[in-house]
Amino acid sequence: NNVPISPEQFNLLYLRLQAYLQGRELFVFDGFAGADPTYRLPIRVINEFAWQNIFAHQLFRRPSAAELEEHKPEFTIIAAPGFKAQPDIDGTNSEAFVILDFEQRLVIIGGTSYAGEIKKSVFTVMNYLLPLRGVLPMHCSANIGTAGDVALFFGLSGTGKTTLSADPERFLIGDDEHGWSDNGIFNFEGGCYAKTIRLSQEHEPQIWDAIRFGAVLENVVVDTNTRQADYDNDSLTENTRAAYPIEHIPGAVVSGRGGHPQTVVFLTADAFGVLPPVAKLTKEQAMYHFISGYTSKLAGTERGITEPQATFSTCFGAPFLPLAPTTYAELLGDRITRHDVDVYLINTGWSGGPYGIGQRMNLRYTRAMVRAAIDGRLKKASYQQHPVFQVLIPTTCPDVPAEILDPAATWQDKEAYEQAAKALAARFVANMDKFDVPAEILSAGPIA
């Protein structure tokens, strides 16, 4: 997704951007990315719009008065939505651009007012800098139990990452971006950026209650008379958002730090209905599925998609990873070994058949699987190996009907299941062919 641009083109565009900003009122936020003082990055965000400055203030780590006094930014982000590039002159793909220059330690954003670009450009910077210091940057949510047990949740959009990590019996460390160092894990941010499309108090009470004074609603339609937000309205976009400080979540870990995780959960929404609802992964399988970053897109969610499509996003965050995928996978593998981490693949997608025939996985059962994975009960289960995906499927799981644990058993047509499983396995293999991956990781993947 990322394309190079020459330093000359960058500098010319930057000069025109500076000229555009001359004489305009600008808004500046100074703060940090990273809750661990050893690894945090002092940043400065310069905004054309006041609301984007509030966004930056709520999303990044806010400095104390003493820290602000000593603050020296090591990376600057300039967001100017009103400034548009000229693709034929500037070498950009469109009027909108997000360009990182690691030499000048500068990010310039123009032609788009989507605040997520500010957040994700800083994430991309961290994904480049931290591995050079032996820290694994991760696109995941994290929570912690009363006993100090940390769990990580990786997953692409629509897999249930936000829902499943928001557990009333556990405390949220962060909802999206973390680092894993020799000291443990740390949140990159000081806030949350939640999707709000079809948000309801009944299904997402934590997010609903977090949207109060200080929160920023983005792309959300508001009734001009009542001033009430209409979270069901997608007339602007499906990508409606709320940004708010993590303090708005009851019991959140404001320090943004935790120890070494005991459990890592990879979430996928398999619309083909062939992956097991829960499976235990070996270290090599964990590295394979981390590099794969699989989920599926559904018919109707994007223009032109009429049937389920397999989607692979490297390390669950392909657009934000400047280094080779194996760099991140090796860091993950190292931590799994050193800290004896249990890794599970949990399918929040379909069972009993593909989308349109089978049923969506019951959220109550998925929550029970996540709880059993985190509290160690799944570790004690007996397992059987899946013949195609090679992962280990538990024969029992507390509070989950045993008959749904083996995906083949939920299909009426067993031959159709086998064909569908092999078809998805072939997609995994074709995707992995793009990467230079060691043989022991390749052999841990699905058998096409």
Structural domains present in the chain: 7-133 (3.40.449.10), 137-258 (2.170.8.10), 263-442 (3.90.228.20)
Tell me: pLDDT of 429 over 60.
yes
3-state SS record for the chain: CCCCCCHHHHHHHHHHHHHHHCCCCCEEEEEEECCCCCCCEEEEEEECCHHHHHHHHHHCECCCHHHHHHCCCCEEEEEECCCCCCHHHHCCCCCCEEEEECCCCEEEEECCCCCHHHHHHHHHHHHHHHHHHCCEEEEEEEEECCCCCEEEEEECCCCCHHHHHCCCCCEEEECCEEEEECCEEEECCCEEEEECCCCCCCCCHHHHHHCCCCCEEECCEECCCCCCEECCCCCCCCCCEEEEEHHHCCCCCCCCEECCCCEEEEEECCCCCCCCCEEEECHHHHHHHHHHCEEEECCCCCCCCCCCEEEECHHHCHHHCCCCHHHHHHHHHHHHHHHCCEEEEEECCEECCCCCCCEECCHHHHHHHHHHHHCCCHHHCCEEECCCCCCEEECCECCECHHHCCHHHHCCCHHHHHHHHHHHHHHHHHHHCCCCCCHHHHCCCCCC
Given this model, what pLDDT does residue 2 score? 84
| Residue for token pair 């994700």 | 120
Give the residue from 252, 235, 292 showing the smallest Cα distance to 431. 292
The contacts of residue 298 (CB under 8 Å, 6+ apart) are: 158, 271, 305, 308, 355
Q: What angle do CA 362, 367, 368 make, to 5 degrees?
A: 100
CA distance 183 to 133: 13
The answer, yes or no, to whether residue 298 has pLDDT greater than 70, is no
CB 398 within 8 A of CB 372: yes
How far from 404 is each of 136, 368, 369, 381, 393, CA to CA, in Å? 35, 13, 12, 15, 11
pLDDT band, very low/low/confident/very high, at 1 (cuts 50, 70, 90): low
In the structure, what pLDDT confidence band is assigned to residue 204 with cuts at 50, 70 and 90? confident
pLDDT score at 15: 98
Digit-coded pLDDT (tens) for 261-287: 999 999 999 999 999 999 999 999 999
pLDDT band at residue 300 using 50, 70 and 90 as cut-offs: very low
Q: Is 214 left (phi over 0), alpha (psi -120 to 50) or beta?
A: left
Query: 359 pLDDT exceeds 70?
Result: yes
- Percent of the chain surpassing pLDDT 90: 92
Please check the confidence at residue 122 and state whether its pLDDT lies above 50.
yes
pLDDT at 160: 87
Q: What is the mean pLDDT of residues 94-119?
A: 98
Mean pLDDT of the chain: 95
Strands 241-245 and 191-195: antiparallel
pLDDT (mean) for 192-219: 94
CA separation for the pair 363, 204 (Å, rounded): 13
pLDDT above 70 coverage of the chain, percent = 98
Tokens of 268: 């996928």
Q: Which residues pair with 181 in a beta bridge?
A: 184
Q: What is the pLDDT of residues 377-400, one digit of tens each?
A: 999 999 999 999 999 999 999 999
Cross-strand bridge partners of residue 61: 32
In the prediction, which pLDDT does 370 show?
Answer: 98
> 152-198: per-residue pLDDT in tens?
999 988 888 888 988 889 999 999 999 999 999 999 999 999 999 99
- Confidence at residue 301, expressed as pLDDT on a 0 to 100 scale: 46
Predicted confidence at residue 166, as pLDDT, reads 83
Average pLDDT over residues 418-444: 97
Q: Is 52 exposed, middle or buried (0-12, 13-18, 19+ CB in 10 A)?
A: buried
pLDDT (tens digit per residue) in 342-352 = 999 999 999 99
How far apart (Å, rounded) are the C-alpha atoms in residues 350 and 417?
12
What residues contact 391, with CB distance under 8 A and at least 6 apart?
276, 279, 280, 281, 285, 345, 385
User: What is the band of 6 on the pLDDT scale with cuts at 50, 70, 90?
Assistant: very high
pLDDT reported for residue 167: 87
**Looking at 27-36, 198-207, 243-252, 382-391, which range is the least confident one?**
198-207
Please, which residues have CB within 8 angstroms of residue 49's CB and are 6 or more apart in sequence? 27, 79, 81, 113
